[in-house]
């Protein structure tokens, strides 16, 4: 874990866990303790609808004796983008990976509490099926060493019959690429090796591959950290559009990115959920001192 400043590492301030109820509307009068977070422009309007897809209920995660996540509770909704922010080592990626049971692949990991998908505990869902319904895109683009078409077709064949012919798969492959905003750029050369695409195109191909499984929840682990600003802007626009079809959870160290694209933000520190609120309120009028220090750049 990257070190914090010596002062904060030695004497962390008191942290109050919050019950993640729907936050107070941003239109209400702002408290006096405003951070005036105006470094980024909001890219999205209020969500048109909200459907609760997942529920994180008092989840704690240990790696042997170390508690990486401490009794976190959060709602995850279709129609919204939820951003997990916090300094390195605060538990946000561990929490993200727990949503489709990737954390349990680490032998030393132990999870308590519950995570429910459509009111069903995910421990009761077969892992492969769960990871089709809750898909993940990682920090570094990781397309398969095959053509653009076959990157998507591979997922479809795994879900159905591997004998499915190209003509049968074409509409679904095209649909996934269109949803990821990539089809117009690659439609004339779907046989092109995926590894020869640009970094931003590769990441959108990975998103298309994840969407081909028709998931209910899309997990994004710092999907823009390896991309240039132009590619980042394209991915951010895509994320905002995708929230209408899937619940989106993104881990990001980029506070301006979280402000631009998130509907709700969860700030984590040393495994605790310090604050959960709408993006506008958490960045502009945070309820917790620790949140205000973090978003104002006092540490990180």
Which pLDDT tens digit goes with each residue over 26-85? Answer: 333 344 455 555 556 776 777 777 899 999 999 999 999 999 999 999 999 999 999 999
Q: What is the pLDDT of residues 219-234, one digit of tens each?
A: 999 999 989 999 999 9
Q: What is the pLDDT of residues 128-175, one digit of tens each?
A: 999 999 999 999 999 999 999 999 999 998 887 567 788 899 999 999
Please give the structure tokens belonging to residue 61.
């995660």
Q: How far apart, in whole angstroms, are the C-alpha atoms of residue 199 and residue 283?
A: 30
Q: How far apart, in whole angstroms, are the C-alpha atoms of residue 183 and residue 22?
A: 37
Question: How far lies 206's CA from each of 100, 134, 285, in Å?
Answer: 17, 14, 36
Total-model pTM: 0.85
Percent of the chain with pLDDT over 70: 85
Mean pLDDT computed over 237-246: 95
Average pLDDT, the chain: 88
CATH fourth-level superfamily of 52-143+211-295: P-loop containing nucleotide triphosphate hydrolases (3.40.50.300)
Q: Is the dihedral of CA 145, 147, 149, 154 positive or negative?
A: negative
For residue 220, the SS3 value is strand
Residues near 299 by beta carbon (within 8 Å), at least 6 away in sequence = 4, 5, 8, 87, 293
- DSSP states of 82-150 as a string? EEEE-STTSSHHHHHHHTTT-GGGSTTEEEEEEEEETTEEGGGS-HHHHHHHEEEE-SS----SSBHHH
């Amino acid at each position: 874990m990257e070190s914090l400043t010596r002062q904060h590492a030695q004497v962390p301030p008191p942290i109050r866990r919050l019950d993640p109820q729907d936050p107070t509307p941003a239109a209400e009068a702002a408290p006096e303790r405003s951070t005036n977070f105006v470094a980024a422009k909001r890219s999205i309007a209020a969500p048109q609808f909200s459907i609760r897809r997942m529920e994180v209920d008092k989840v704690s995660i240990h790696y042997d004796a170390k508690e990486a996540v401490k009794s976190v509770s959060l709602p995850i909704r279709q129609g919204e983008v939820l951003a997990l922010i916090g300094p390195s080592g605060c538990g946000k990626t561990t929490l993200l990976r727990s949503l489709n049971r990737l954390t349990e692949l680490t032998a030393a990991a132990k999870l308590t509490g519950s995570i429910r998908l459509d009111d069903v505990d995910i421990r009761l869902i077969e892992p492969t099926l769960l990871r089709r319904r809750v898909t993940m895109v990682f920090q570094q683009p990781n397309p398969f060493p095959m053509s653009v078409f076959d990157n998507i077709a591979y997922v479809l064949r795994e879900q159905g019959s591997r004998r499915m012919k190209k003509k049968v798969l074409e509409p679904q492959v095209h649909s996934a690429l269109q949803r990821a905003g990539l089809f117009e750029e690659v439609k004339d050369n779907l046989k092109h090796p995926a590894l020869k695409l640009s970094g931003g195109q590769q990441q959108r191909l990975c998103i298309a591959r994840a969407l081909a499984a028709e998931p209910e929840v899309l997990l994004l682990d710092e999907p823009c950290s390896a991309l240039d600003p132009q590619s980042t802007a394209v991915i951010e626009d895509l994320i905002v559009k995708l929230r209408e079809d899937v619940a989106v959870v993104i881990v990001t160290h980029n506070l301006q990115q979280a402000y631009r694209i998130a509907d709700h933000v969860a700030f984590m520190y040393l495994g605790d959920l310090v604050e959960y609120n709408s993006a506008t309120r958490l960045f502009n009028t945070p309820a917790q001192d620790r949140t205000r220090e973090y978003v104002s750049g006092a540490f990180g």
